[in-house]
């Protein structure tokens, strides 16, 4: 079987095909870029597999003056940067043993062995230079039937790397718009897996997976499956996804892009966010959303004091948690309010105002200006201040 995969036509990929073939090595594009291209989805990075050892791959790169990174060489992966493209070339390998996260691998095995150590069937479809597909584990039929299936024994795949129990849901979230379903045996394996293996996963690894899940357009559906499989309480303790379906619908109906921090706020705020090792800016935004959401401030005031995006998040969270409709002009109102400028300056006050009294007067006038819908003029505010 052949497939017209755009990735094979990239100059960077063509260059690697020519380089490896010139020295008699096999090279195949594999994994997500093949899967996504066959589904008509965009892809970012390109993964390739070869029978060349990591040492031989480095020597090939050096002979062609190509820039590489060898950080993953221990696991057989050499990273290439060619013409703005990131390409990962990994030696065929099989796993000899594992501690549930980091495997001991053996290089120089066959493509079939390489395929059988991977996670899901749809991630083990290989394409040669001419577009011919090699499908050792039945990924193509599963792709056509929209089935997300572990390769081989699901229990064994998870014991080899417990992160796969979460990655299953990450992939399901990414492919949810394409109507993929998780194969029943895989869900049973996740439900029955050793929870201590999940607890040993680092917060960093869990964050990477959950970030993709939480920012997916239909995150609520996947979070519900995770909850029923008993995984959500382990990887995100304290999370309450009950209002997430409503947020999904509001965002989708109004063409609003899902946002990681907004969804963390809905799931439980800072209490839940602590598990995800949020970056400093994300943690600050989460605190601001929590404070604004619980305040009596209008979204216009929130946009003025913060920014339109944060105010939009608060409006969405309020609507999602209460069941109220989202105002049709919410985005425009937030963007308009963010642009407003308070018309009074300290220099506008007369000499009777000094010290702390200046700050109190400006604060009072700003409050009245906001309550007027940002419409009170400078002269009106100053005249009111004199009369009071």
Give me the pLDDT at residue 188, please. Answer: 96
Strands 133-134, 147-148: pairing kind: unpaired
H/E run at residue 169? helix 164-175
State the pLDDT confidence band at 190, using cuts at 50, 70 and 90: very high
Say which DSSP state 5 is in: -
Provide the pLDDT confidence category of residue 126 given band limits of 50, 70 and 90. Answer: very high
Token pair 């493509």 in the structure block, residue = 111
CA-CA distances (angstroms) from residue 120 to 15, 109, 124, 169, 255? 28, 19, 7, 12, 32
Q: How far is CA 46 from CA 139, 182, 301, in A?
A: 18, 25, 45
CATH of the domain at 127: 3.30.460.10
* DSSP one-letter code for 161: B
Residue 190: closest CA among 160, 155, 220, 223? 155
**Is 215 inside any structural domain?**
yes
299 within 8 A of 335, measured Cβ to Cβ: no
Pairing of strands 46-50, 85-91: parallel
Give the integer Cα–Cα distance in Å for 18 and 24.
Answer: 10
The pLDDT, as a whole number, for residue 60 is: 96
User: In the chain, how many domains are there?
Assistant: 4
The per-residue pLDDT for 137 is 97
pLDDT at residue number 357: 85
Strand partners, 88: 47, 79
Q: What is the pLDDT of residue 277?
A: 82
Q: Do 32 and 96 sit in the same domain of this protein?
A: yes
52 in Cβ contact with 28 (< 8 Å): no
Q: What is the mean pLDDT of residues 309-333?
A: 94
Min mean pLDDT across 62-71, 146-155, 365-374, 379-388 is at 379-388
What local confidence, expressed as pLDDT, does residue 139 receive? 97
What integer pLDDT is reported at residue 203 of this predicted model?
85
Instruction: Specify whether 209 is located in the same domain as 268.
Output: no
In a domain, 246, yes or no: no
* 276-317 residue pLDDT tens: 888 899 999 999 999 999 899 999 999 999 999 999 999 999
Please give the residue that has the higher pLDDT: either 328 or 337.
337
Mean of all residue pLDDT scores within the chain: 91
Show the beta-strand stretches assigned E in the chain: 27-30, 46-50, 67-69, 77-82, 85-91, 93-98, 103-107, 126-127, 133-134, 147-148, 181-182
CA 292 – CA 22 distance, rounded (Å) = 62
Comparing CA positions, the residue from 154, 163, 113, 167 lying closest to residue 137 is 113
**Is 305:283 a contact under the CB 8 Å cutoff?**
no
Same domain membership, residue 122 and residue 62: yes
- Look up tokens 């357009």; give the residue: 217
| 249 domain residue, yes or no | no
Distance between CA atoms of 124 and 142, rounded to whole angstroms? 11
One domain for residues 191 and 154: yes
Distance between CA 128 and CA 144 in Å, rounded?
20
> Which whole number is the average pLDDT over 151-156?
95
**Domain stops at, among 111, 141, 171:** 141
Answer yes or no: is 226 within a domain.
Answer: yes
| pLDDT at residue 177, as a whole number | 84
Bridge partners, residue 150, by sequence: 120
The pLDDT of residue 29 is 96
Domain identity same for 2 and 135: yes
- Please say which residue of 109, 125, 141 terminates a domain: 141
Instruction: Map residue 258 onto helix, strand or coil.
Output: coil
Question: What is the chain's percent helix, strand, coil content, to nearest 5?
Answer: 55, 15, 30
Indicate whether 248 belongs to any domain: no
Q: The domain that contains 157 carries what CATH number?
A: 1.10.3090.10
Residue 376 lies in a domain: yes
Question: Which pLDDT does position 9 carry in this prediction?
Answer: 84
Looking at residue 2, what is its pLDDT? 62
Q: State yes or no: pLDDT of 96 exceeds 70.
A: no
Do 171 and 299 reside in the same domain of the chain? Answer: no
Same-domain pairing of 333 and 363: no
Q: What confidence score (pLDDT) does residue 320 get?
A: 96
State the Cα–Cα distance between residues 314 and 282, nearest whole angstrom: 15
Whether residue 365 is predicted with pLDDT greater than 60 in this model: the reply is yes
Q: Are residues 107 and 137 in the same domain?
A: yes
pLDDT tens digits for range 34-80: 999 899 888 888 999 999 999 999 999 999 999 999 999 988 999 99
Q: What are 213-222's pLDDT values in tens digits? A: 999 988 999 9
pLDDT at residue 344 in the model: 92
* 284 and 228 together in one domain: no
Per-residue pLDDT, 107: 84
Q: How is residue 218 written in tokens?
A: 């239909």
Q: Can you tell me the distance from the alpha carbon of 178 to that of 286, in angstroms, rounded to the nearest whole number?
A: 31
Residues contacting residue 293 through CB under 8 Å, at least 6 positions apart: 265, 314, 317, 318
The pLDDT assigned to 77 comes to 95
pLDDT at 386 over 70: no
Q: Could you give the dihedral angle defined by the CA atoms of residues 346, 351, 352 and 357, in that order, rounded to the nearest 10 degrees? A: 30
Of 139, 203, 151, 201, the C-alpha closest to 175 is: 139
- The reply to whether 85 and 115 lie within a common domain is yes
Look at 5-9, 217-221, 347-351 and tell me which has the smallest mean pLDDT. 5-9
Q: Are 39 and 99 contained in the same domain?
A: yes
Beta-bridge partner residues of 81: 67, 86
In terms of domains, do 11 and 52 share one?
Answer: yes
Output the pLDDT for position 214: 93
Give the pLDDT confidence score for residue 273 in this predicted structure: 83
Q: Please report whether residue 104 resides in a domain.
A: yes
pLDDT at 5: 61
Q: Could you give the percent of the chain with pLDDT greater than 70?
A: 95
pLDDT of residue 7: 78
Q: Is residue 244 part of a domain?
A: no
Residue-range definition of the domain harbouring residue 366: 346-387
pLDDT, residue 61, reads 96
With bands split at pLDDT 50, 70 and 90, how would you rate the model's confidence at 204? confident
Question: Of 141, 159, 181, which closes a domain?
Answer: 141
* Six token digits for residue 323: 């069941």
């Amino acid at each position: 079987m052949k497939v017209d995969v755009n990735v094979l036509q990239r100059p960077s990929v063509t260059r690697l095909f020519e380089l490896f073939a010139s020295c008699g090595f096999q090279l195949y594009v594999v994994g997500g870029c093949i899967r996504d291209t066959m589904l008509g989805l965009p892809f970012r990075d390109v993964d390739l597999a070869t029978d060349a050892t990591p040492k031989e791959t480095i020597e090939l790169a050096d002979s062609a003056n190509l820039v590489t990174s060898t950080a993953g060489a221990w696991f057989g992966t050499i990273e290439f940067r060619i013409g703005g493209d990131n390409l990962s070339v990994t030696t065929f390998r099989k796993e000899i043993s594992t501690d549930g996260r980091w495997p001991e691998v053996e290089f120089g095995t066959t493509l079939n062995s390489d395929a059988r150590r991977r996670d899901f069937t749809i991630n083990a479809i290989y394409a040669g230079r001419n577009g011919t597909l090699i499908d050792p584990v039945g990924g193509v039929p599963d792709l056509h039937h929209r089935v997300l299936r572990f390769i081989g024994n699901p229990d064994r795949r998870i014991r080899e790397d417990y992160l796969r129990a979460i990655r299953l849901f990450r992939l399901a979230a990414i492919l949810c718009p394409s109507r993929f379903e998780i194969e029943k045996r895989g869900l049973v394996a996740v439900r029955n897996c050793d929870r201590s293996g999940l607890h040993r996963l680092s917060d960093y690894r869990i964050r990477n997976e959950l970030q993709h899940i939480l920012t997916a357009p239909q995150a609520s559906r996947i979070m519900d499956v995770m909850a029923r499989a008993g995984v959500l309480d382990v990887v995100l303790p304290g999370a309450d996804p009950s209002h997430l379906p409503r947020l999904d619908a509001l965002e989708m109906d109004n063409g609003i892009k899902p946002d990681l921090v907004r969804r963390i706020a809905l799931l439980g705020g800072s209490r839940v966010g602590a598990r995800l090792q949020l970056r400093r800016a994300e943690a600050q935004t989460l605190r601001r959303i929590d404070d604004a959401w619980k305040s009596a401030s209008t979204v216009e005031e929130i946009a003025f004091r913060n920014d339109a995006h944060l105010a939009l998040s608060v409006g969405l969270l309020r609507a999602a948690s209460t069941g109220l409709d989202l105002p049709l002009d919410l985005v425009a109102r937030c963007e308009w309010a963010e642009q407003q400028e308070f018309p009074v300056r300290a220099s506008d006050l007369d000499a009777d105002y000094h010290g702390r009294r200046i700050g109190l007067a400006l604060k009072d006038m700003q409050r009245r200006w906001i309550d007027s819908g940002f419409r009170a003029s400078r002269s009106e505010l100053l005249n009111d201040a004199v009369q009071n």
